[in-house]
A and B are shown apart, each in its own frame.
Chain A
Amino acid sequence: MSDIADLLREQAARLFEREIGRSGRSDVGEAEIPTALWQAIDAAGLCDVMVPEHADGAGAGLPEALVLARLTGAHAAPVPLVETALARWIAQGHGLPIASGAASLAIAGPESAGGLAITGIPWGRAVGTVIGFVEGPEGWNILAVDPARAAIERAGNLAGEPRDTLRLDAGALADTVRAPLDPALLPAGPLALLALFRAAQMSGAMATALGMATRYASDRVQFGRPIGRFQAIQQMLAAMAGEAAASACATDAAGLAGPDNAEIMMAAAKARSSEAAGHVAAGAHQVLGAIGYTREHDLHRYTRRLWAWRDEAGNEAYWQSRLFRLVAQRGPDLWTALAPVSRDAGQE
């Protein structure tokens, strides 16, 4: 892992610990971005982490951005940081305009004569620009949508995070700036990229849920000893650790993949993480018992997000099928399909 990633991890972790503790804990089910937290994040430049240095960003790559995404999950940060960072990077890379402040992105429905609907937009109500991906006959187009020109319907996922719908009429759609997707920038396409970032967020939330459950098991005394002394509890927590580690490693590995391997690795990351999320959330609730099932306890901030995120940008069934098809396209020999090598790799 690079020095940039380590720096970023430290800086962002400190910021989240300080600011979420102070302002962010009333978030669930609320529609607004906590102002102080968001200002601290934007002032620290975290939203420009992927923007190239010549455009005043940090010029960090996918591995570093994934570190940040994992932290937003590990802290259940109630902000569209991942979305804004990706939207700014994609807008900059495609020469599209983007408003200052928070931004978001989502896959859009097909365009029609009547306009365009984009559903499931994270924080759609609270952002200045929505980057929409529209699949057309010639491939993907990227639209820089101004929410002020659209009708907004508010909705939320099961963690209470805003997931809104924007409806553009034909006129607003005609005025919207667009660019064809650059495969050099997004070799795996938009859905796989969104899936990978949700996977990274899930791996962070799983680490926190596992940590909470482990601490609780060490502290909670029943039958005269900490419940973590019981083998049944130990076995459950160990199995959760395995699931969390598999998610973290699959996510990391996808961030390191070259363009030819990117979608396969992103598909694996989301499929594995979405599957792991259910096990870890269920295990954490089992260990924490009734207190973990209350609104008062923090556990639900992580488990409700895990349940929401595992279905967003494609659930495990979707990505398992997609992964199978992607690997199958490489031919009938599974090993060379999974572990491709270029024959001249050693001569670089």
Chain B
Amino acid sequence: MVELRAIPETPELAALRCELRDFLATEITAGRIALRNNSWLRYDAAFSRRCGQRGYVGMRWPRRYGGQERSERERFVVAEEMLAAGAPVGAHWIADRQSGGQILRFGTERARTELLPRIAAGMCFFAIGMSEPDSGSDLASVTTRARKVEGGWRITGRKVWTTNAHNAHYLIALVRTSPPDPANRRAGLTQMIVDLTAPGIEISPIYNISGEREFNEILFEDCPVGDDMVLGEVGSGWACVVNELALERSGPDRYMSAFPLLAELFRAQISDTAMPPGTGSETGRLLAHLIALRSMSHSVAAMLDEGHAPETEAALVKDVGNAFEQAIPESGRRLFPLSPSLPPPEPLAEMLAQVTRDAPSFSLRGGTREVLRGIIARGLGLR
């Protein structure tokens, strides 16, 4: 396992932070965005378009595909600043974080030229098509299948827990393109870009425990996909999807989901003169964790810039990061015992209630804690 090494933040990155803070301050002052926790799930198409106009989407991609040819470390800074403010980046988040990178790496030239510039402009949004009702952590067991037809494929099956599918334009689906091979469960899978306006698609809401329409179930019935919307070689879907998962695990969204709550706790604590002495250690512990995680995630961003594929390290960041995110509301309720009245009487109580309800998802989405630890164990040489 490669050792994570902290690296200094360059003046260029600091300048980018300033730029982001100015942009977000303007957005907030103008009342254009609503800030909240877990903001990378919050859909706001107009905000995403403004991010695209400023070059904050698809930053790493080549200019000919609408990108900025900037580094992963610059993307890291943009992501941290957005999430620290609680900005609603959910519309473009998945396309920017993983779908675009998949298309750039595995897509046909037509897919790249048609889709990447629109994603980078903050106008084209993606969803993830991995999980199914009977395939969660065991992703290789997917049964949604694609049947070859003249010029393309027809997809039939079901995907589930699809965040923002009702707002997205496309989805990258992992489907079975040949029958299961008991000798190699990972063979016969393919990733395809599905146009969510195509015929044969039915999207229905699934409400989360807060009653929000966070995700969906998608039913495919003979849904058409062109040959030029296939990612990589037919049958190489497992290698593609593993790459996609590595892209989604090491970023600041894996430890900043509850940052606005932490900031509010901090603010409340330093303005509360009745706070008993010594209570600083509860929040101080969280600050120490956050400082360590920022360094870890920054370090993985630098590894990506150097061309490494830090699968184990990404899993490590997500595992440690999710535990930290989940600890924030627990510390919060020890510091400020709030009565669970709904609707809440004050912003802190509202945030605490909200993050307490969101928290279970942190160590489920993007790979459960147990799956991640399995990956780390493999990195340690145990599997």
What residues of chain A have their CB less than 8 Å away from a CB belonging to chain B?
1, 214, 217-218, 228-229, 231, 233-235, 237-239, 241-243, 245-253, 255-256, 264-265, 267-269, 271-272, 275, 316-317, 319-325, 327-328, 332-336, 338-339, 341-343, 345-348
> Would you call B292 and A268 a contact (CB within 8 A)?
yes
> Would you call A323 and B84 a contact (CB within 8 A)?
no
Expressed in whole angstroms, the Cα–Cα distance for A243 and B324 within the complex equals: 12
> Would you call B287 and A234 a contact (CB within 8 A)?
no
B364 at the interface (CB under 8 A from A): no
Central interface residue in B266, B376, B380, B381, by most chain A CB within 10 Å: B380
18 pairs, CB–CB < 8 Å, chain A vs chain B: A238-B319, A238-B374, A241-B316, A241-B376, A241-B379, A241-B380, A245-B296, A248-B4, A250-B291, A255-B6, A269-B292, A316-B281, A319-B288, A327-B266, A338-B287, A339-B84, A341-B15, A348-B11
> Would you call B281 and A250 a contact (CB within 8 A)?
no
> B380 to nearest A CB, angstroms?
5
A238 cross-chain contacts in B, Cβ below 8 A:
319, 372-374, 376-377, 380
A1 cross-chain contacts in B, Cβ below 8 A:
5
Central interface residue in A231, A250, A253, A322, by most chain B CB within 10 Å: A253
B280 cross-chain contacts in A, Cβ below 8 A:
320-321, 324-325, 328
> Would you call A338 and B382 a contact (CB within 8 A)?
no
Expressed in whole angstroms, the Cα–Cα distance for A327 and B267 within the complex equals: 11
> Would you call A332 and B287 a contact (CB within 8 A)?
no
> Would you call B5 and A252 a contact (CB within 8 A)?
yes
> A158 to nearest B CB, angstroms?
23
> Would you call B18 and A345 a contact (CB within 8 A)?
yes
Chain B, interface residues (CB within 8 Å), range:
35 or more
> B271 to nearest A CB, angstroms?
7
B291 cross-chain contacts in A, Cβ below 8 A:
250, 253, 264-265, 268, 272, 338
Tell me which residues from 11 to 34 in chain B have a Cβ below 8 Å from any Cβ of chain A.
Answer: 11-12, 14-18, 21
* Per-position binary interface string of chain B over residues 154-185, scored 1 when its CB falls under 8 Å from any chain A CB and 0 otherwise: 00000000000000000000000000000000
> Would you call B284 and A320 a contact (CB within 8 A)?
yes
B46 at the interface (CB under 8 A from A): no
Q: Which 7 A-B pairs have the closest CB atoms?
A: A346-B15, A320-B284, A252-B6, A324-B280, A238-B373, A324-B284, A234-B377
B284 cross-chain contacts in A, Cβ below 8 A:
267, 271, 319-325, 327
